Amino acid sequence: MPTFKVVDLTPKALSGESEQDSEPFLAVNPEKPTEMVATAFTSDPMGGRFAPVYVSTDGGNTWSLNTIVPGGGRGFGTGDITVAFADRGGALYAGILNGVAAFRQNKTLLQILRAPSVSSTAPMEVLVSRDQVDQPWTIADTVASAGADHDRVLVGNNNFNHPSPTSQTATVDVSADARTARAPAGFASTGIERRTPDGQDGPPVRLALHPDGTVYAAFESWTSTTAVQAVSDVTFDVVVTRDDSAGAGANPFQDLKDATDSSPGQRVATGRFVAFNSTLGQERLGGDLTIAVDPKDADSVWIAWCDRVGGAGGTDNTLHVRHSADRGQSWAQARQDITDVKNPALAVNSAGLVGLAYQKFADNQWTTVLETTADGWKSTPETTVLHQAPAAVPVAVGLPYLGDYIRLLTVGADFYGVFSGNNTPDNANFPVGVTYQRNADFTTHQLLDVDGTSGVAVSIDPFFFHRAA
């Protein structure tokens, strides 16, 4: 039987903090899975020039902050940040939106970063720097060639610097050898949208890389947009592109052609609707997308996204899961749809077990769930509630509240992930149990300051989870 671990990432030394530490991400070192790096919208408690990442070297039992990310500052961390380890050698990579640029200069400055190891305390090295980019999504692996290891690093992003037509914003930055080369370390930017969206593509560009070099990139191609104050009515197609040479060939991301119009990029679903920037349980909607490939079968790929089934007149945010057994050419429904869901995350382990994590809003609370299935939901999946808490507490201070995504990944047969949520210390909120590093009284349900006595307000914390096979 699998065992579960849930840990609040906030270190004991930060017991007094009450920030909205949302939009988490996680990297696990495949070569040494006890080493992990997690991220969230967390600021440096000392107010220095660098933003922190959370680091664990004991399998996620304990976490500390390492302030190595450029662009931090007093009162804020980075903008968006995602991280990945290579398969061998221990190098850590990150795609960020620089915090100084985001919070002081109103810019969306993408930076791709590198550190030699999880233990490095030196500032991460800047390999790429480019303005007008949103939501970097970082993955990496290692391949052996000519007697040496080479780290392949890919960063999906929404790039508003794309040449004409400028609306083709879905982009992937790729390096075939990122470990040691001087900046820009071989990174090249490739637009993966081949049609002409209305204004832009959606913010998420999600990636799945198979060890054989097959890489899938999923995005939402906006076909029409109508702004109504702060909310935009968006109709979009869900598109999957594929590259059979890890994005480093002569014509990257053009190996999957649509069955209808023969354009690069198979449309999984068309004419979908979302009220972009509308809210559900204090969280904004509009960019829920995830993709995963079976590590033992590059032909088998899974995708999930959310949209409003009722169109402009509806109120739902519905999760859809689809599967392709032929390298993304055709897709079939895999799971029954679920309403009022946010932040789907897919992963497949070494035994072909598919994991789906998501956050569901119901009865005025957010519930974070992990499902695993060995037969593609043909039978009832194993369903585990990781966290449940009132959605109205704490009151949101800006957006995102929980975040625009959570992270699920696998190393071998094990599933690892992170989510953000209400940090009330109440065992009833954690059906499989939880460990807090920060001071907390689970009897009175009160967070406590560093002194162990003074009360601290409930806030949003990042939580780590592990499903061990």
Residue linked to tokens 């790429």:
128
Closest CA to 235 of 245, 246, 225, 250: 225
Structure-block tokens of residue 110: 């993408």
Lowest mean pLDDT among 40-49, 152-161, 292-301, 357-366: 40-49
pLDDT in tens, 210-231: 999 999 999 999 999 998 778 9
pLDDT at residue 431 is higher than 70: yes
pLDDT digits (tens, 9 = 90+) for 350-382: 999 999 999 999 999 999 999 999 999 999 999
Model confidence over 232-259: pLDDT tens digits? 999 999 999 999 999 998 899 999 999 9
Per DSSP, the residues of 353-414 read: -EEEEEEEEETTEEEEEEEEESSTTSSPPEEEEEEEEETTSSPP-SS-SS-S--EEEEETTE
How much of the chain, in percent, has pLDDT values that exceed 90? Answer: 90
Above 70 in pLDDT, residue 81?
Answer: yes
Q: So what's the pLDDT on residue 74?
A: 67
Q: Looking at the predicted structure, is the pLDDT value of residue 76 above 90?
A: no
Closest residue by Cα to residue 214 from 188, 189, 247: 247
How much is the pLDDT for 12?
A: 97
Give the distance, in angstroms, between the CA of residue 187 and the centroid of all CA atoms in the same chain: 21
Q: Among 46-50, 163-167, 293-297, which is the least confidently predicted range?
A: 163-167
Q: Are 300 and 331 in contact (CB under 8 A)?
A: no
Average pLDDT of span 445-452: 98
Question: Is 90:116 a contact under the CB 8 Å cutoff?
Answer: yes
Residue-averaged pLDDT of the chain? 96
pLDDT at 106: 81
Residue 317, CB-side half-sphere exposure with 13 Å CA sphere: 27
How far is it, in rounded angstroms, from Cα 425 to Cα 45? 22
Residue 159: helix, strand or coil by DSSP? Answer: strand
CB contact at 8 A, 288 and 202: no
